Amino acid sequence: MQLLKTVAEARAWRSTRSRVALVPTMGNLHAGHLALVSAARGQADDVIVSIFVNPLQFGPNEDLANYPRTFEADIAALEHAGVTAVFAPGVDEMYSAGGRSATTVHVAGITEMLCGASRPGHFDGVATVVAKLFNMLTPDIALFGEKDYQQLAVIRQMAEDLALPVEVAGVPTVREDDGLAYSSRNGYLTPDERRRAVALSAAIDDVTTRLAAGQRDYRALEARGWAQLTDAGFDPDYFDIRDARLAPPTEQTPVFRVLAAGRLGRTRLIDNKGVAAPR
């Protein structure tokens, strides 16, 4: 496995490869990331994983300085997983202005709702760094976890709008035995918070089951999910029912997406699930 730290090294590596799959990460890898790697190995001849904690997607009161960095363990896990190369640039390699960028990518509409409403500018940072990675590494396919469903939707829209020659693929969420979605932020939870965190996936499961059974009072279902989070000790951010493209659902919606986010103590957790409408 090759470790690449500059754009020049990454482009030289790419020039010798045929079909390449990219898995972008911020490190602190867990089973969800490794599922992306496994899926990527089935889609390409070579897999490159990027590890870069992107300052552009952190707000002024968010956890950039404390974001867990486990580089040596990440490298060992990726080598064991059969990754061909790791691209791990420094901030100055990615952004010439010390972690800032004079040019940013904004995907209008889809970035102002849900997580974007409480994290202004977050998805501009995501879209900008992913666009740069696509230009630097020119992958044939890039894989993202469905756990961050809004992020996946933003990147798909960006790639479509900018005619970027890369396929953007989603990979189903990987969960712990009790249903909690794997996340780098799960490590922030206290033991008591970890026990209560499963209420997030449980509330979403409850609402998706009701949608599958034909219930269509969306506001009542959203209020039900919100109440379940509150009862478990969450400070909910949102609990929304959308269609697969994150538009409000209609009677003709074939597939619903139930999305929720909230804080448990100091930790902000997100999750979502899709469910097909009954025929």
Question: 27 labelled as ligand-binding?
Answer: yes
246, 272 Cβ separation under 8 angstroms? no
Q: Which amino acid belongs to residue 140? A: D
183 appears as a binding residue in the annotation = yes
What is the C-alpha separation between 116 and 152, in angstroms, rounded?
13
Six-digit token pair at 98? 């010390």
Binding residue per annotation — 28? yes
94 annotated to a ligand binding site:
no
Token code pair at residue 183? 């996340």
Does 214 show up as a binding residue in the annotation?
Answer: no
82 is in an annotated binding site: no
Residue for token pair 């509150």: 230
Q: Where are the alpha helices (H) located in 70-186, listed in sequence order? A: 71-80, 91-94, 115-118, 122-137, 149-161
What torsion, rounded to 10 degrees, do the Cα atoms 221, 170, 176, 278 define? 40
Q: Is 106 a residue of the active site?
A: no
Find out whether 148 is annotated in a ligand binding site: yes
Contact 236, 230 (CB under 8 A): yes
Cα-to-chain-centroid distance, residue 186: 14
Contacts of 75 (CB under 8 A, 6+ apart): 1, 3, 86
CA 174 from chain centre, in angstroms, equals 12
Residue 96 labeled ligand binder: no
Q: Which residues does 142 contact at the CB level (< 8 Å), separation at least 6? A: 21, 22, 23, 24, 130, 133, 134, 155, 166, 167, 168, 169
Annotated ligand binding at 252? The verdict is: no
Residue of 33, 80, 106, 122 marked catalytic: 33
User: Is 268 annotated as contributing to ligand binding?
Assistant: no
Tell whether residue 31 is among the known ligand binding residues. yes
Q: Which amino acid is at 19?
A: R
Q: Would you say 33 is a known binding-site residue? A: yes
Q: Which of 32, 72, 31, 81 is nearest to 51 (CA)?
A: 72
Q: Is 122 annotated as a binding residue?
A: no
Is 8 annotated among the ligand-binding residues? Answer: no
* Ligand-binding site membership of 135 (annotated): no
Active site members: 33
Q: Provide the annotated binding site for (R)-pantoate.
A: 57, 151
Q: Provide the annotated binding site for ATP.
A: 26-33, 145-148, 174, 182-185
Q: Provide the annotated binding site for beta-alanine.
A: 57
Q: Provide the annotated binding site.
A: 26-33, 57, 145-148, 151, 174, 182-185
